[in-house]
Structure 1
Amino acid sequence: MNIFKLIITVGLIASTSLTACRGKKQPALAKEISAINLKTGNVVLCGPDDKSVGKVSFIISGDDSIINQFNFGVALLHSFEYDEAEKVFAQIIHRDPRCAMAYWGVAMANYHPLWTPPEIPELTKGAKALEIGRSIEPKTPRETDYINALTDYYSNWEKLDHRTRCNQYEAAMQKLQQKYPNDKETAIFYALALDAAADPADKTYANQKKAGQILNGLYAGMPYHPGIIHYLIHTYDVPELAQLALPAAQKYASIAPASAHAQHMPSHIFTRLGMWDDCIQSNLASIAAARCYAENAGIKGHWDEELHGMDYLVYAYLQKKDLKKAKEQWDYLNTFKAVSPPNLKGAYTFAAIPVRYVLENRLWKEATQLTTTPAGFPMQQFPWQLSIIHFARLLGFVHLNQLDSARNELATMNQLHNDLVAKKESYKANQVDIQLKASEGWIAWKAGNPALALERMGLAAEMEDKTEKHPVTPGEVLPARELLGDLFLEIKQPEKALAAYQADLEKHPNRYNGLNSAALAAAQCGKQDLADYYAKQLKVITAPKTAIAKTE
């Protein structure tokens, strides 16, 4: 990929003659603004040769230069370039401290729906920014409504959990959309709020379908809007709906090529559909852009977006059985000494890449030797990710018939689960609980209790079927229903194993181990035609990209 460095400097003008957001000169709010501790400096973006971040038309009061600058900031918000978006809004505030919507922009840059919940410094900043925005007069009724709606997310953040506040914001944005039915930006931000408030356990996908209806209704008239195409991908990032997002996935990177996230995001859908070559190319571009960004933004160490892309990249390499390239990424990860910011995305990658490699390749001895403390990273702050490593170690010990060691790993996982329950992090606790049930099943099998083994493993598969994967991951390190199929094979029940693999392939198409195991189970059932069918699929997905192109 041809990477270029794009540094956008919007002049920091402090002219006393500059009109305010609504054209009336107002005194500055120096003390209050200083307390927010805004991100400042040049706006840094990296990507292919096109400098675009898409086209946005969000009307606010103010002169044309401020409106254009604000729309640039909103376009960055729509591609989740939050740090750079905050810089743009900070520049507007520097030019015009009385521009109320610039403070809304700062608060949106610190909310980042669909990613990890904001931490205390971000919540504090967003709440203070909105407080200033509310105090500024005059502003239009629409601007007041936008600021008040986002205030519903930040209000009482010390007492209310993230999910409750997401629901409050979604309700506020619904009212805003009803009040301004012809306002397209309001509809787009409402769709985002619907996705952010969606219940991971809701398999009817009510919020996602509502958001999709809104976004699809706008798309034809706004084909270059980054938010519409980006949120369509997030909206349909579930197995049952992923095909609907393929056109958006194939276009988003070209709409906002200066965004590293826009390079990566299509791979969510490519992964859902088992399109491994497309997934690989998407994440190679994303990783290159992320490295460029880290270098030019002065980030010490590696940007978390680079790690996020690496997890998806390794997953795709493993499905193509390209072990050399997958191992190169793991070795590269082992050289990391610092990650910025040290958040859930980085923690998941540090856990998932080594775990995927050893579990997908059935390297049981290596699994028992995995470490839980990556250099320079506060892994102990992330119980869910730690549990993934202990889960791999446990499976390794089970397959090596070292049950005492496996039970020690199980005890550690139980403690991590209890920690998450105590913190009221129910989704993450449930993810650990699924692995606990699977672990109990495999320990029971090796201990000579196949009935209990199947009961526990079956429960794990049912629990996983009822929830959805986190956006941070391309997929579970080992799908529970695929693992159930493995257990059926161990117990010499190939018919049930085949059914389990087939069910899992519906949710995880073109997984190498799913296809390979389904072929094995089918052969053991005497269904050679079916075994040959799965074997043929394996040859297709593992073929080099050039070989695939020749067969199309």
Structure 2
Amino acid sequence: MHKALFISRLVIVGLLGALASCREKASAPSAEAIREINLNRGSPVVCGIPNQQYGFSGFETSCAATDKADFNLAVSLLHSFEYDEAEKAFANIIDREPGCAMAYWGVAMANYHPLWAPPTPAELAKGTKAITIAQRIPQKTPRETAYIHALAQFYQDGATTAHAVRCARFEQAMAKLHATYPEDKEAAIFYALALNGAADPADKTFRRQRQAGTMLTALSLSAPNHPGIIHYIIHSYDSPELAAQALPAAKKYAAIAPSSAHAQHMPSHIFVRLGLWDDCVASNLDAAASARCYAENTGIKGHWDEELHALDYLTYAYLQKADNRQAKAQWQYLQTIREVHPANFKVAYALAAIPSRYVLENKLWQEAAHLKIPTANVAWEEFPWQKAMVHFTRSLGYTHIGQLDSARQELRQLQASHDILLRQKDQYKATQVAIQLKSAQAWLLAAQGNTQEALQLMHLAADTEDRTQKHAVTPSEVLPAREILGDLLLQLNQPQQALLAYEADLTQHPNRLNGLYGAATAASKSGDTTKARRYYQQLLKSANAPQTTRPELIAARQFLAELT
């Protein structure tokens, strides 16, 4: 009797165990559903200091305890925008534990990248599939459900709803999540990221960025080496008005995540804002080397996009240091590049900006007039903003060498790019092209003798630029509009007005070589020797390349020698 009862109990326990196992298997997505996501796979690639040093994120999940370290690595990769590698790390967790809902959230997060370009159609599809699976898995905590719900707000109606609207929905959902779980550090960090992602580039009060920066700075006291906190402080304060607040973070981020190419580059955003050219050069030399290592170790054919992004910042810093030799070397190296992956918006930007910067900042008008669009594997018709830079450069070049008909032809190309962007409802980029269009028109009008109309148009261009924030893809506008206004006023023999324009621009672009030289020249012509001396001295301190042959520095030394 007792033996029969014991056997019956064993059978019941076995049946209950089998039923639980079936329920667990049913809660996980099918192998086919996982295959349809088309996950990036493999071990995360390390470039720089080995042992995958990306900082530490303490993200708690209900997934298997054996996956905790791997999940934290994946989140740390997310926080340094190493999106492909983060997706690989989350995919490895899915392979071991297909019922881990938060691993699918991680894949969807890796395809969102809030502060870069909007997801491509393929990335949008992948993220949508991943977040849909995450929503359907029942085994998750209320907190995990809130994370998944928040990100689903971004992916909902992705093909029909504007990117900015979906970013705002994600921000609002993360605000609610943060309020519900105020002790969850990661919720606060991802909320700060959402605030930056939803920030309006035309908002010069920086409301969202200030809110994010304040929150992150408070968090940094208890987690000084968290990669997301340090990284997003830099993004929050990436503006001339706020940049000084991010300098401590910029100085330490590369050391916190030394295996991340982006962590090597990102501090230079603040170095540029503060005119710290030596720091900017060092940062981007490391970033470019790390990006080349990444391309080699992942089998990328040609070059990785992060390398070209670093080269643009590197070229800009060399030009401000008056190091034409090194700046030109970056351009010459760029001309050897035939293939870049992915061939995206920042690749197109670097390809157009680097040669444009070199010829415009050196006032090489003949070369500017005949500048060619680079021939790497970029579909230029997909990037009207970037292509417009070349036409802007050519227009200024043709105007300065007196070929006005050719300058007008380039203006028509600029107008066409502007119209395309308006049809695409990309107001920010359309505004950037409009600023260049007005600037180029102003110089053409001045060349024709219509000085009053030229100045009105140039003032309008400068005022418009003052109301917008530069895009994170660029260290600076190819030429700042208010600096161009100063150049025009100086040419029209209005040095006092030119000085005001240069000084206003230097508050936004400190230690720009041409801005300092323009201010010094305008002050000298206005009879203000004190200001002229100060700006020339500042120029020689900032543009410190040895053995430079830039005529601006020769003029500065001559002026100061005559005063002595």
TM-score normalised to structure 1 length: 0.94
Q: Which amino acid aligns with 1:181?
A: P
Q: What whole-Å deviation, never above 9, does each CA across 1:337-392 have from its counterpart, x for those lacking one?
A: 10100101100000100000000000000001111242322222100000011000
- Find the aligned partners of 1:290 and 1:330 in 2 and give their Cα distance: 17
Q: Which amino acid aligns with 1:212?
A: G
* Unpaired runs of at least 5, structure 2: 1-17, 548-564
Q: CA deviation at 1:195?
A: 0.3
1:127 corresponds to: 128
- Secondary structure of 1:45 counterpart: coil
Once the two structures are superposed, the pairs formed by residues 57-456 of structure 1 within 5 Å of their partners are: 57-456=58-457
- Find the aligned partners of 2:206 and 2:407 in 1 and give their Cα distance: 37
- Find the aligned partners of 1:526 and 1:27 in 2 and give their Cα distance: 78
Q: CA deviation at 1:27?
A: 5.1
- Find the aligned partners of 2:65 and 2:53 in 1 and give their Cα distance: 19
Compared CA separation, residues 177 and 492, structure 1 to 2 (3 A): same
The answer to whether the Cα contact below 8 Å between 1:53 and 1:226 also exists between their aligned partners in 2 is: yes
Between the two proteins, what is the percent identity of the paired residues?
56
- Find the aligned partners of 1:238 and 1:515 in 2 and give their Cα distance: 20
- Secondary structure of 1:203 counterpart: coil
Q: What whole-Å deviation, never above 9, does each CA across 1:389-409 have from its counterpart, x for those lacking one?
A: 100000000101111111110
The answer to whether the Cα contact below 8 Å between 1:61 and 1:67 also exists between their aligned partners in 2 is: no
- Find the aligned partners of 2:310 and 2:188 in 1 and give their Cα distance: 29
1:56 corresponds to: 57
Compared CA separation, residues 545 and 57, structure 1 to 2 (3 A): farther
Higher mean C-alpha displacement, 38-47 vs 500-509: 38-47
- Find the aligned partners of 1:66 and 1:26 in 2 and give their Cα distance: 18
Higher helix share: 2
Compared CA separation, residues 141 and 361, structure 1 to 2 (3 A): same
Q: Which amino acid aligns with 2:204?
A: K
Q: CA deviation at 1:62?
A: 2.1
Q: Which amino acid aligns with 2:108?
A: A
Q: Which amino acid aligns with 1:374?
A: T
Q: CA deviation at 1:45?
A: 1.9
Matched positions, count: 529
- Find the aligned partners of 2:163 and 2:472 in 1 and give their Cα distance: 16
The answer to whether the Cα contact below 8 Å between 2:189 and 2:228 also exists between their aligned partners in 1 is: yes
2:7 corresponds to: none
The answer to whether the Cα contact below 8 Å between 1:113 and 1:196 also exists between their aligned partners in 2 is: yes
Q: What whole-Å deviation, never above 9, does each CA across 1:68-87 have from its counterpart, x for those lacking one?
A: 11111000000000000000
Verify: 1:469 aligned to 2:470, yes or no.
yes
- Find the aligned partners of 2:105 and 2:479 in 1 and give their Cα distance: 41
- Find the aligned partners of 1:154 and 1:306 in 2 and give their Cα distance: 29
The answer to whether the Cα contact below 8 Å between 1:54 and 1:255 also exists between their aligned partners in 2 is: yes
Compared CA separation, residues 50 and 480, structure 1 to 2 (3 A): farther
Q: CA deviation at 1:43?
A: 1.1
- Find the aligned partners of 1:62 and 1:533 in 2 and give their Cα distance: 62
Q: CA deviation at 1:63?
A: 2.3
- Secondary structure of 2:111 counterpart: helix
2:492 corresponds to: 491
Compared CA separation, residues 27 and 206, structure 1 to 2 (3 A): closer
Q: What whole-Å deviation, never above 9, does each CA across 1:189-234 have from its counterpart, x for those lacking one?
A: 0000000000111111100110011101100100110000000000
The answer to whether the Cα contact below 8 Å between 1:373 and 1:379 also exists between their aligned partners in 2 is: no
- Find the aligned partners of 1:28 and 1:425 in 2 and give their Cα distance: 38
The answer to whether the Cα contact below 8 Å between 2:27 and 2:138 also exists between their aligned partners in 1 is: no
- Find the aligned partners of 1:474 and 1:334 in 2 and give their Cα distance: 20
The answer to whether the Cα contact below 8 Å between 1:355 and 1:392 also exists between their aligned partners in 2 is: yes
2:560 corresponds to: none
The answer to whether the Cα contact below 8 Å between 2:337 and 2:376 also exists between their aligned partners in 1 is: yes
Q: CA deviation at 1:50?
A: 6.8
1:32 corresponds to: 33
The answer to whether the Cα contact below 8 Å between 2:322 and 2:544 also exists between their aligned partners in 1 is: no
- Find the aligned partners of 2:181 and 2:25 in 1 and give their Cα distance: 26
Q: CA deviation at 1:48?
A: 3.4
Q: Which amino acid aligns with 1:225?
A: H
Q: Which amino acid aligns with 2:387?
A: L
Q: Which amino acid aligns with 2:53?
A: S
- Find the aligned partners of 1:375 and 1:44 in 2 and give their Cα distance: 26
- Find the aligned partners of 1:283 and 1:453 in 2 and give their Cα distance: 38
Q: CA deviation at 1:137?
A: 1.1
- Secondary structure of 1:42 counterpart: coil
The answer to whether the Cα contact below 8 Å between 1:23 and 1:63 also exists between their aligned partners in 2 is: no
The answer to whether the Cα contact below 8 Å between 1:277 and 1:545 also exists between their aligned partners in 2 is: no
The answer to whether the Cα contact below 8 Å between 1:152 and 1:168 also exists between their aligned partners in 2 is: yes
2:541 corresponds to: 540
Compared CA separation, residues 246 and 133, structure 1 to 2 (3 A): same
Q: Which amino acid aligns with 1:372?
A: I
CA RMSD of aligned residues (A): 1.8
The answer to whether the Cα contact below 8 Å between 1:50 and 1:257 also exists between their aligned partners in 2 is: no
Q: Which amino acid aligns with 1:73?
A: A
- Find the aligned partners of 2:28 and 2:259 in 1 and give their Cα distance: 36
The answer to whether the Cα contact below 8 Å between 2:311 and 2:350 also exists between their aligned partners in 1 is: yes
Compared CA separation, residues 102 and 49, structure 1 to 2 (3 A): closer
1:11 corresponds to: none
- Secondary structure of 2:47 counterpart: strand
Compared CA separation, residues 308 and 481, structure 1 to 2 (3 A): same
Q: CA deviation at 1:24?
A: 8.0
The answer to whether the Cα contact below 8 Å between 1:270 and 1:278 also exists between their aligned partners in 2 is: yes
- Find the aligned partners of 1:272 and 1:148 in 2 and give their Cα distance: 36
The answer to whether the Cα contact below 8 Å between 2:42 and 2:88 also exists between their aligned partners in 1 is: yes
1:3 corresponds to: none
Segments ≥4 residues shifted beyond 4 Å: 22-28
Q: Which amino acid aligns with 2:180?
A: K
The answer to whether the Cα contact below 8 Å between 1:224 and 1:255 also exists between their aligned partners in 2 is: yes
- Secondary structure of 1:380 counterpart: helix
The answer to whether the Cα contact below 8 Å between 1:226 and 1:252 also exists between their aligned partners in 2 is: yes
- Find the aligned partners of 2:364 and 2:374 in 1 and give their Cα distance: 20
Higher mean C-alpha displacement, 535-544 vs 295-304: 535-544
- Secondary structure of 1:43 counterpart: coil
* Unpaired runs of at least 5, structure 1: 1-16, 547-552
Q: CA deviation at 1:425?
A: 0.8
Higher mean C-alpha displacement, 49-58 vs 110-119: 49-58
Compared CA separation, residues 345 and 27, structure 1 to 2 (3 A): closer
Q: What whole-Å deviation, never above 9, does each CA across 1:265-319 have from its counterpart, x for those lacking one?
A: 0000000000000000000000000000100011111100000000000000000
The answer to whether the Cα contact below 8 Å between 2:489 and 2:497 also exists between their aligned partners in 1 is: yes
